[in-house]
Structures are given as structure tokens and as C-alpha cells.
Amino acid sequence: LAKTTQPISMDSYEGQEVNITCSHNNIATNDYITWYQQFPSQGPRFIIQGYKTKVTNEVASLFIPADRKSSTLSLPRVSLSDTAVYYCLVGDHNNAGNMLTFGGGTRLMVKP
């Protein structure tokens, strides 16, 4: 299973762009990269998923370089409500047994 490494924590201020990078050096050919957001006492919530290059939705962008050994979640103009833990997950979503390893997550603190 591909193991992920993320910074333990990050601080930002309201209105700034935040970029969180995840390393996954042994990502497999069939693996996708998925990011989740978790608030205290709630289950993780899906943010974005990608395989290569760039993916954008209404919440975030995901940048994946050609070698796919890392990925960067970009949150534009964060607000206080974006304070949460962000998890990077790598796995083959066509194989339930291979989409299971959550890393430690990055605790993002957005300050006023």
C-alpha cells in the first residue's frame, strides 16, 4: 500500500491561499490520490480526487506532477471555517482492499 507523508500542521490567515503537499513515493500505476477534510467530532469529508496533472472543483484544486510521487492540495482564499485536518489518501479505488491507508493528516489552523 502506498504510504503518504504530510506536514503535521500548518498555519495561515484568512484570505490567503494554502497549499498542502503530500508525498507518496511508492504510488502504483492504478492508484488515485484523494483528499479529505475532517472537523472535530465529525467523519472525514471528501474534497477532491485526481490521477494526474490538475483537477479543480468548487472547493479546491489538486496538482499532481508527472511522476505522481507527490500531490498538492490548494485551497484558495481560506476562511476560519477551513480550520480542519486534511488527509491525503492514495489507493486503487477499484480495489476496496487497496484504498485504506490514511496518513496522519495535516492540521490547518486559519487565523483572523
Partner 1 sequence: DVKVTQSSRYLVKRTGEKVFLECVQDMDHENMFWYRQDPGLGLRLIYFSYDVKMKEKGDIPEGYSVSREKKERFSLILESASTNQTSMYLCASSFDTQYFGPGTRLTVL
Residues in contact with partner 1 by CB under 8 A are 32, 34, 36, 41-46, 49, 87, 89, 93-94, 96-97, 99-105
Nearer residue to partner 1 within complex by CB, 32 or 70? 32
Cell of 21: 503537499
Contact 48, 59 (CB under 8 A): yes
- Nearest CA to 8 out of 112, 111, 79, 108 is that of 108
- Closest approach, Cβ 84 to partner 1, in A, equals 13
Block residue for cell numbers 475532517: 38
- Closest approach, Cβ 10 to partner 1, in A, equals 17
Nearer residue to partner 1 within complex by CB, 13 or 46? 46
- Closest approach, Cβ 1 to partner 1, in A, equals 10
3-state DSSP assignment of residue 72? strand
Nearer residue to partner 1 within complex by CB, 21 or 38? 38
Contact 80, 112 (CB under 8 A): yes
- Closest approach, Cβ 23 to partner 1, in A, equals 16
Nearer residue to partner 1 within complex by CB, 69 or 107? 107
Strand 106-111 with 84-91, pairing = antiparallel
